[in-house]
Amino acid sequence: MGLLGGGQRDLIVALPDHAKRWDITMVTLNAPDLLVETCRELNIELITPPQPWQEPRGGLKEITAASGRSARKAWKRLFPSFKEPLQQADAAFVIISVGGLEILELIPRSLPLYAFILERNKGIYDDVSHRNMDGSFKRPMWINNLALSYLRRWDKKWHRMLWNRPNTIISANTPTSARKLASSHKWPTLNSWIAGRPEFRDEEKRPAGVGVLWPAINPHAWPIEPTTDELEAWGHFELRPTTPYLLTIGRACFMKGSFEALTVAHASSMPLVHVGGGETDEMKKKATEMGVELIIMPRIGELEIVSLVRNAHALIAIARTEGFGLTPMEAVMVNTPALVVDEAGFTHTITDGLNGRRLPWPNNPDSIQQWVEAIEQSGQETNRQQWSKTGRQRIFERFSSNHQAEGLARGLATLDVQVELTDLEILPGLDPA
């Protein structure tokens, strides 16, 4: 949980609705303040080590699977603290991120388990994290493949354990994530893309494929109208731009298409505001070469981020292998147009011309011109209002915390877990939107 990325925030957002159905014990190797506060408000027991676990980093540590081995030891040390709640539990829900797989050996095989794997490890199975900002490889790929061979074997070992486990459901957060995860381990995918409809391959209820449990978006954090606190924060925000601007959110890198975002900003003659850190020095250097006004935001608070999104001319999301893409959905909640690349997870949320624009990669004059036209359309109030209205409707129909809680409950009910279900309509997954 220490990463507090999209997946971690997703769980925190959904906790109130999960807590309506379950008596929850939360176990994690590191608990950020937001999680501690949420658990306190919901009266959820939180079990975490006295000293938060930190992921080992560095090239050698990655090669030797130090992160997984360290997490495994940390779970074993913590096990006496959650052994009794685990023995009393009716089911386990594990969100598998960094250090998550290694808890599997401590969960009794007889206990129904819902494994939520947001997306596969990009560093092992994709080459995007091994490229420089311009797309060139940081080192020859044969060296990467050789160096990561042990880490890949470690990862596959734990996924095999999960796949062969009885009383188990495996889901990703979108059809794109499900397909990529399944292809990495030669698993099938479930074609319905409806949360709460798992399939099993034998009488012991081992998973028959990877399904989808959609992320949860918190509308309260992204209100249609700015709150008094947000207006005050924006008024005192010394770094707020003074002219119309485009906005990108996420770690600056090749995967997030940071150079392509600069291309779009250059073509539209608008400043680009970047939030999220990353390889910002390379981004600044490229912006200077192109003559683009680039504003790199330091670490800022939640209210400032909401204000930056709300006041942007448009949010642009250009990313490779993105599993879901949370920021476009947050943008439409506050009436800001979301302009996204027509790839991967964005294809499940944005329908071109209905709740935003889905555009080709800006890598030639024709496609760049389409981005320029979309930015011009974003300035028209009728478009902003209509895209936001239909975008919010889609979120409330598919991506609410209640939908995630109901999908989880229906899935566990198929494992004979006694849990209260409702008649909430869960729609088929959008593939594409």
Which tens digits make up the pLDDT trace of 256-271? 999 999 999 999 999 9
Tell me what percent of the residues of the chain surpass a pLDDT of 70: 99
Q: For the stretch 100-114, what's the b/e string if a residue is b when 16 or more beta carbons lie within 10 angstroms of its beta carbon? A: bbbbbebbeeebbbb
* Per-residue pLDDT tens digits for 139-180: 787 777 777 888 899 999 999 999 999 999 999 999 999 999
- pLDDT for 89 beyond 70: yes
The reported pLDDT for the residue numbered 58 is 76
Helices 365-378 and 381-398 pack at an angle, to 10 degrees, of: 90
The DSSP line for 196-257 is: T---BSSTT--B-SEEE------GGGS-SS--HHHHHHHHT-TT--SS--EEEES-BSTTTT
Residue 191, pLDDT > 80, answer yes
Q: Which tokens sit at 423?
A: 């008649």
3-state helix, strand, coil in the chain (%, to 5): 45, 10, 40
Give the pLDDT score at 339. 98
**Is it the case that residue 8 has pLDDT exceeding 80?**
no
* Angle subtended by helix axes 326-333 and 302-310, to nearest 10: 70
Supply the pLDDT for residue 23.
Answer: 96
How far is Cα 425 from Cα 267, in angstroms, rounded to an integer? 43
For the record, the structure tokens of 326 come out as: 């949370």
* Domains of the chain, first to last: 6-216+400-413 (3.40.50), 219-397 (3.40.50.2000)
Summary mean pLDDT of the chain: 93
Average pLDDT over residues 19-29: 96
Half-sphere exposure in the Cβ direction for 232 (13 Å, CA): 3
> What pLDDT digit, counting tens, does each position of 408-432 carry?
999 999 999 999 999 999 988 889 9
10/78: higher pLDDT: 78
Amino acid, res. 291: G
What average pLDDT does this structure show over 262-281? Answer: 97
Tell me what pLDDT residue 55 has.
Answer: 86
pLDDT value at residue 4: 65
Cis bond before residue 298 (omega within 30° of 0):
no
Residue 96 in this model has a pLDDT that exceeds 90: no
41-61 pLDDT, tens per residue?
999 999 999 999 998 887 777
Q: Which of 145-154, 238-247, 260-269, 391-400 has the lowest mean pLDDT?
A: 145-154
Residue 10 binned pLDDT confidence (cut-offs 50, 70, 90): confident
pTM of the entire structure?
Answer: 0.92
With 80 as the cut, is the pLDDT of residue 80 above it? yes
